[in-house]
Amino acid sequence: MRMNRVFKALLGVEHTVIESVELQAAGGGEPAGSGEMVLVVSVRAARSRASRCSWCLRRCPGYDRGEGRRRWRGLDFGSVRTFLEADAPRVRCARHGVVVAAVPWAQRGARHTTPFEDTCAWLTAHAPASTVAELLRVSWRTVTAIVERVITERAGRVDRLAGLTRIGIDEIAHRKGHRYLTVVTCHDTGRVVWAAPGRNSDTLSVFFQALGPQRCAALTHVSADGAEWIHTTVARYAPTAVICLDPFHIVAWATRALDEVRRGMWQKLRGHGKHAQARQFKGARWALMKNPEDLTGEQRTTLAGIATTNKDLYRAYLLKEQLREVFSTKGITGRRLLAGWLAWARRSRLPGFVKLAKTITRYRQAILNTLDHGLSNARAEATNTHLRVLTRRSYGFHTPQALIAMAMLTRGGLCPELPGRQLTN
Ligand SMILES: [Zn+2]
């Protein structure tokens, strides 16, 4: 029985009986020469866990032997790959019919043990999937399939929609901007609490319906970008929630307007044959887009040059920066700065900013809400940036479900602990 205890501890499994342990050639049969050897541990469920339905875990009468012996990949012992091998009989559940019996070392339908899957999911939250695949000796398809399974299982255990009061709703582009996800973040925990493919009222309605009328009524603030469908859907399901416009998006609008001015000037100079000057404008892009505190010395010089040689472009730059200031100031001062900004933008004679002033006037109430309630944008922005980085890692995210699973793993608080680690305070 000693061996039983040692191997159970090493494999990280419980309620399991170890029948035998042997080294085999990776392809099966006796270990031969220098070929890879794998450890095969024959196991069975302890009596208390045997003959249970893999859906409801109820004890059921046996049905047949199923497809005979099966293997589950476990965590490596050192550099040796390890497999658990066991019978996979079927049982007849009164509720679920004829199903494969549950096993204590793996989740229903899994080809890997639970410690292996948890390790794989944890690693994927902390390293590129390609690294995880190489370390664990599985394909990246297996990595993403495991992540999806782990997330689905863990999501079923907790109610992530409980206790929401202040949420952010975002649309995130993936697959080179051809597809979108609608993502809901909790402002208080910073967690992604819900995500689904699509960006329209129907998609978002599914979220509000899952929330239910009582919890919809508990929502106090909803932040979003300017998308009309978000505003109308929120108004329909959570009419008492205050809608705030995300500063992140408003500043992005100003940055786009600034870039339009820069490009317009660049094209005009090229049209007049002033190629050397035009090139300077092209290079000035980053100096203009970056936040002033992040500028390099060279970019500061570029900006100083623009201030003296191109008043229009510099004015556009100041308008963008001033708008950013409105949202870092917030409150009454923020409101005053915004009024000043609108007056300035309207008479700026820069078409992009005149238009932006109109847009901002249209969303004035939602923007004032943002300033008054001071919803922190840092978390929504961090989530946004993070998801965009995820979508750029092209491998493994061919389906929106895989991307959602990754978002839930890294931003949804659903990442498992590494097996065998005691939680310490
Ligand atoms: Zn059942």
66 C-alpha to ligand 1 centroid (Å): 16
94 C-alpha to ligand 1 centroid (Å): 7
Strand partners, 244: 223
Residue 189 belongs to some domain of the structure: no
What pLDDT is attached to residue 269?
82
Per the structure, the count of domains in the chain is 2
310 C-alpha to ligand 1 centroid (Å): 74
Please report, in tens digits, the pLDDT of each residue of the chain (425 residues total): 577 888 888 888 999 999 999 999 887 666 666 688 999 999 999 999 999 999 999 999 999 999 999 999 999 998 999 999 999 999 999 999 999 999 999 999 999 999 999 999 999 988 888 889 999 999 988 998 999 899 988 888 888 899 999 999 988 877 766 788 899 999 888 889 999 999 999 999 999 999 999 999 999 999 888 788 999 999 999 999 999 888 888 888 999 999 998 888 888 888 888 877 777 777 777 778 777 778 888 888 888 888 787 888 889 999 999 999 898 888 888 899 999 999 999 999 999 999 999 999 999 888 999 888 877 656 666 777 777 777 666 455 667 888 888 888 888 888 898 988 865 54
89 C-alpha to ligand 1 centroid (Å): 14
Q: Checking DSSP bridges between strand 97-100 and strand 192-197, what pairing results, if any?
A: unpaired
Q: Tell me how far apart the alpha carbons of residues 310 and 265 are, in angstroms, rounded to a whole number.
A: 9
Residue 196 belongs to some domain of the structure: no
166 C-alpha to ligand 1 centroid (Å): 39
Sequence-distant (≥ 6) Cβ neighbours of residue 414 within 8 angstroms: 150, 151, 154, 155, 408
| Residue 94 DSSP SS3 | coil
| Enclosing domain of residue 28 | 2-105
Q: Tell me how far apart the alpha carbons of residues 85 and 103 are, in angstroms, rounded to a whole number.
A: 11
Residue 403 belongs to some domain of the structure: no
Domain ends where: 74, 89, 105? 105
Residue 48 belongs to some domain of the structure: yes
Domain ends where: 66, 81, 105? 105
Q: Tell me how far apart the alpha carbons of residues 108 and 145 are, in angstroms, rounded to a whole number.
A: 14
Residue 300 belongs to some domain of the structure: yes
What pLDDT is attached to residue 209?
96
The neighbourhood of ligand 1, an ion, using CB within 5 A, equals 53, 55-56, 93, 95-96
Structure token pair of residue 243: 């809608």
97 C-alpha to ligand 1 centroid (Å): 7
288 C-alpha to ligand 1 centroid (Å): 62
Residue 79 belongs to some domain of the structure: yes
149 C-alpha to ligand 1 centroid (Å): 19
60 C-alpha to ligand 1 centroid (Å): 8
Could you tell me the CA-to-CA distances from 18 to 15, 24, 59, 359 in Å, in that order? 10, 17, 22, 69
93 C-alpha to ligand 1 centroid (Å): 5
Q: Tell me how far apart the alpha carbons of residues 106 and 266 are, in angstroms, rounded to a whole number.
A: 62
44 C-alpha to ligand 1 centroid (Å): 20
What pLDDT is attached to residue 32?
62
Domain ends where: 105, 140, 175? 105
Residue 303 belongs to some domain of the structure: yes
96 C-alpha to ligand 1 centroid (Å): 4
64 C-alpha to ligand 1 centroid (Å): 16
Residue 149 belongs to some domain of the structure: no
Q: Contact, 137 vs 81, CB < 8 A?
A: yes
98 C-alpha to ligand 1 centroid (Å): 9
Closest CA to 87 of 77, 102, 73, 97: 102
pTM, two decimals, is 0.76
53 C-alpha to ligand 1 centroid (Å): 5
143 C-alpha to ligand 1 centroid (Å): 28
